[in-house]
Amino acid sequence: MHQADALLTSTLESWLPDAAVNQNEATEAYRQFHRYGQHPSVIRSGRVVTGVTHEDGTRKFLLRHLDGRETESVIMPIEGRSGRVRQTLCLSSQVGCAMGCTFCQTATMGRVRNLTTAEIVAQWHHATHELEAQITNLVFMGMGEPMDNLDAVLCAIEVLTDHNAASIPPSRIGVSTVGHADGIRRFTEFMQREGMHQLRLAVSINAPNDTIRSEIMPVNRAVPMDMLRETLIEWIQAGGRPVLLEYVLIPTVNDTTAHAEELATWVGDLPCRLNIIPYNPILDSPWPAPQEGDVTQFIEVANAAGLVVNRRQTRGRNVMAACGQLSTASRRNR
């Protein structure tokens, strides 16, 4: 049985305890619940949105799960090259995170627990049906390391791409990792399945060399940059789309013109795009946000060195909804 079909069957059994309901009726209930947000035969989960904050069109919402644990998710309006505005939902895969990146607020929580497939999909469901957002794109870039909870993440992708459920095209789904080599290889295998070839892979690189990367990202001590690059080459050779390299630009850490040139040397001929993310200060941060002139200069040098560069627009920084700022523990403390 296809994994999505197995997941559908098990989900329907839990939602529809009446064994007399036939498969067609159950499938229709499943479809109606996802497409319209409710169905009389479906048992409500009890998860609730307990808070929403806004800034510049960006919405961050707090979702309380059945055990009382909470996750933050972000709805971001992003204008494409054509001028069309798409609503991107930034999904969390864990409560907290164990990766320990020094520039990330979520890391201050540690890993509390993994989210289940249902808890991941529930973020889309509440964003769509409770907050009435027309979600067109999904990125696993919220709380947690997706490759550290890959079984649930892959099952969630099955549901979110299912035409009976969210029906999001795989080409509009991206999974971001700090550089979990084994996870990238598993994701590469998954990407090769029928219908999944257009999935996107993003990697938080954030440094031009092992010395700096190991200081701000402990994962680099286990997976140095050369090893990470090998896994990205495997992704490309297996038919994967060009990799999105995410680079959080941190003042005095990784933001000089020499760093840009060194990064370009490491990238070499790897098919990729570089996404520059101006650092968003976390609570008690040792670093400020970068100056706009420094961001521009870094991008210009990276471009001149042959890299294809995008600049991530800063959204939601003042309400702790920007990249690297999610943390329910800090929210409660505030």
Catalytic amino acids? 323
Q: Which region holds residue 96: left if phi is over 0, alpha if psi is between -120 and 50, else beta?
A: left
How many C-beta atoms lie closer than 10 Å to residue 146's C-beta? 29
Q: Tokens in use for 4?
A: 């999505």
How many C-beta atoms lie closer than 10 Å to residue 256's C-beta? 15
The enclosing H or E element of 61 equals strand 58-64
Distance CA 85, CA 64 (A): 29
Question: Do 299 and 316 form a contact (C-beta atoms < 8 A)?
Answer: no
CA 313 to chain centre: 16
First to last CA, the chain: 48
Distance CA 235, CA 192 (A): 10
Would you call 108 helix, strand, or coil by DSSP?
helix
Of 268, 221, 212, 215, the C-alpha closest to 245 is 268
Cβ contacts of residue 109 below 8 Å, gap of 6+? Answer: 95, 96, 97, 143, 327, 328, 329, 330
Of 277, 279, 281, 280, the C-alpha closest to 312 is 277
Of 56, 57, 51, 88, the C-alpha closest to 70 is 51
